[in-house]
Structures are given as C-alpha cells and as structure tokens.
Structure 1
Amino acid sequence: MSNLLVIALIPYVHVAAPPPTLPEAAGLAASLSLLRDLRVGRAGSLKGYRHDRFLPGWGRQYGACDTREIVLKRDGRGVRRDRSCRAVRGVWYSRYDGRRLTSTAQIDVDHLVPLANAWISGANSWSAARRRAFANDLKRPELVAVSEKVNLAKGGHSPANWRPPVRGYWCTYARSWITVKHHYDLRVTPREKKALGNMLRTCR
C-alpha cells in the first residue's frame, strides 16, 4: 500500500509593513482649507466617558506587536525588542518638549487629539469599534511617543488651553490636529479653531 502524503494548507494572511515614520499631516494650504471646513460647536459633556471605552487595551498590529510597541519602534532610534515585542532599549526624542529619552518608563504614547477631547467633540456617539480604531490609528498623525511628563501636563486639553512647550513644533502639531479632526469629523470649539489658526501662523 502506497504511503499517503498529507499536505496541510495554511491560509496566507498578508500583513502590511509597519509605518516607518510618523504619518504626514496635511500641508499648510490644505490645513487652512480643512480648518475652514471643520464643524464648529460647543464642547459636549464628559458624561459616560471612560478611557477603556476607546482603549480596553492596545490593539494587536503585527505578530506579537501591539500599537504602542509599533509607535515606540517607529519613533525611536536603535530600538531593541524582546521576544514579546516590547521595547527594551533605544533612544527617543520627545517632539513636544525636546527631551531625549532612553527608557520606556519615561515615555507615553500620546493621542494627539486626546480621547477625552474626541468624546466631547462627537466620539460619544460612535460605535465601540470606531472608538477602538481611533485609539489605535497608525495611518493618521494621531499617535506619537513623547515624554510622560509633557503628556501628563497636556492631559485632555485642546490647543485652546495647551500647546507643546517647543514652539517650533506648533505648526506640525496644529496641522496634525486638524488632519485628525477632519478625518474623523470631530467638532472644534470657536476658541479651539482660533488657537489652531494662530498656531498655523508659525508655519514657515
């Protein structure tokens, strides 16, 4: 009796390569146009908001790597990972405050448009899936590795009440904020819109 050769067919799943750099925000001219197009309204209530309604845990992205680890690898230099994809070594530059960081204990992955701000800007009516997608978005300039200290200072504030200490980053920050809010159709307040316009004036 002849031997039977059994071949196991394993489904092939295409996984896109992780983004090598922070996604680009809209250019100055486009940002000015998008800013004019943003819906303006009052901030909503924080009633019902919880961090875990957006982020019950970082989403799995590539293999064992979750969103946070992808951002740490993307934004750092000489990043080494362990078998669980956790960054264990590297150097990071915190764009908001200009600090050089050498330990992941010093780093937060910031949601440029904070989750709380998204909630009061329209995300309170989103589905759970859309909120998770927003919190793990690697296609827009929404996630950035910064110092824990500056991230705590920022909290859930919009540009109406907080701007990066490094003034030279205001242009990029405002363009990124506008890009994200426009993509997700999130409202801005009148004060927020005015602050964004003022920050765009620093673009050169």
Structure 2
Amino acid sequence: MARSIIPVLLAASLQAANVVATPPNIPSNAVAQTQLDALTVASAGSSSGYSRDLFPHWISQGNSCDTRDLVLVRDGTGVTTGTGCSISGGSWYSPYDGATWTQASDVDIDHVVPLANAWRSGASGWTTDEREAFANDLDNPQLIAVTDNVNQQKGDSGPEEWIPSRTAYHCTYGKMWVAVKYTYGLTVTSAEKSALEGLLDAC
C-alpha cells in the first residue's frame, strides 16, 4: 500500500531536481479505451445527503505528512520542507492551464473525479472507509496539483461540462478520469461517456 513507501517517496522527491511527476497508473490509450467500453452507463444519482465530510480527505500519511503534502512533493519541482512536512519552497506546473506557481498556497489538489460526482455515480453506497480511500488515493490517477482557481472553476463537473483549457492535456485527462471510474466501479452518464470518447480521440 502507498503508506508503507511514504518515507522513501518523500526522501526521493525532496532530493530530486527538476522532476516532472504525474499521477501514477495512467493507462495506455488502448487500456483506457477498453476500460471506457466496460463502464456502466446510467443516469446520475441524487446529490441528496452528499457532504465533503463524508469523504475524509487530507488524512495523515505518516512522517508528519498528510495526503496534500505528498501530492505537492510528488508533483512539484525542487520542493523543500520546513518543520515537519510543511512545504517551504518549490514550484508547481499546472497541466490543466500551463501556469507555474512558486507558492504552495496557489495550488489545489484536484480530485480528478470530484467527490460529489463520485457520490452521484455510486459512492453514496460506500462505507466511510471506502470513501476515505477514494479521497486520498495515491495509487491511482485521482489526485493532481493544479492552479487553485482552475480547480474551483471545475467544481464537481464531469468532462461533459468541464475539461482543462490546455488541449494538449485532454488525452491524459480523459485517461485519468476513465481509469478512476473503472477502478472504483463508478457509473458514467451517456453525455459523460460521449465526452470521454472525444477526449480519448485526442490521444
């Protein structure tokens, strides 16, 4: 599991310079298409009862780090830390819009498949532990450091409503979204599937 390799991940990331990191386990084009074809198409479920608090996130990952810290370290360049796991320096390139930031406060950690979207597509029936695992998933392409206001613009939108402004990232974004939905057995709407097919066509 990810937690067992955290000290190694942190040390290696802090020592490396100019590392261009990406979320793990992004599928190949062919695998993403196979996964998309396997997804169940269904109408979006109700948002009734949804709360972000039902998806405990940025949990402790050991070594004085939480999930957000580890994604900032993974996705940044020249990241340094102060006391504990507080981020004291580095830069972050946001693949959604092509902006580079040197303050961690300008960066959000995006849930590629937003928590509310997951709720409407199957997570409403999960246990709290299952939702916590989803919200802090460091093993699949579900978390990525991006410009904060871009993440806020995205909100809980699916790809039928919002995609990154950088067309060069459309293929990767589509593959990440498909992989997460497939891994967690979440459904897609017909409009969402059509949008994902368009994104994979860009590969």
TM-score with structure 2 length normalisation?
A: 0.90
Structure 1 stretches lacking a partner, 5+ long: 1-13
Which residue in 2 is equivalent to 1:18?
Answer: 9
What are the within-5 Å matches in structure 2 for residues 162-177 of structure 1?
A: 162-177=162-177
Structure 2 stretches lacking a partner, 5+ long: 14-20
| 1:124 matches 2:124 | yes
| 1:202 matches 2:202 | yes
C-alpha RMSD over aligned residues: 1.3
Higher relative helix content: 2
TM-score with structure 1 length normalisation?
A: 0.90
Q: Is the 8 A contact 2:60 2:66 kept in 1?
A: yes
Q: Given residue 111 of structure 1, which amino acid in structure 2 is its aligned partner?
A: H
| 1:182 matches 2:182 | yes
Tell which structure's C-alpha radius of gyration is larger: 1
Structure 1 runs (4+) deviating above 3 angstroms are none
**How many residues are paired up?**
189
Q: Is the 8 A contact 1:110 1:146 kept in 2?
A: yes
**Partner SS, residue 49 of structure 1:** coil
**Partner SS, residue 4 of structure 2:** coil
Q: Is the 8 A contact 2:110 2:146 kept in 1?
A: yes
**Partner SS, residue 25 of structure 1:** coil
What are the within-5 Å matches in structure 2 for residues 62-101 of structure 1?
A: 62-101=62-101
**Partner SS, residue 15 of structure 1:** helix
For residues 180 and 158 of structure 1, the distance between their equivalents in structure 2, rounded to whole angstroms, comes to 13
Q: Report the alpha carbon displacement of residue 25 of structure 1 after superposing the two structures with TM.
A: 1.0
For residues 118 and 173 of structure 1, the distance between their equivalents in structure 2, rounded to whole angstroms, comes to 16
For residues 26 and 151 of structure 2, the distance between their equivalents in structure 1, rounded to whole angstroms, comes to 20
Q: Report the alpha carbon displacement of residue 109 of structure 1 after superposing the two structures with TM.
A: 0.5
Q: Given residue 197 of structure 2, which amino acid in structure 1 is its aligned partner?
A: G
Q: Is the 8 A contact 2:63 2:84 kept in 1?
A: no
Q: Is the 8 A contact 2:113 2:142 kept in 1?
A: yes
Which residue in 1 is equivalent to 2:41?
Answer: 40
Percent of pairs identical after alignment?
Answer: 44
The one-character-per-residue Cα deviations of 1:56-76 (angstroms, maximum 9, x if unpaired) are: x41111311110000000000
Q: Report the alpha carbon displacement of residue 15 of structure 1 after superposing the two structures with TM.
A: 2.8
**Partner SS, residue 47 of structure 2:** coil
For residues 180 and 187 of structure 1, the distance between their equivalents in structure 2, rounded to whole angstroms, comes to 11
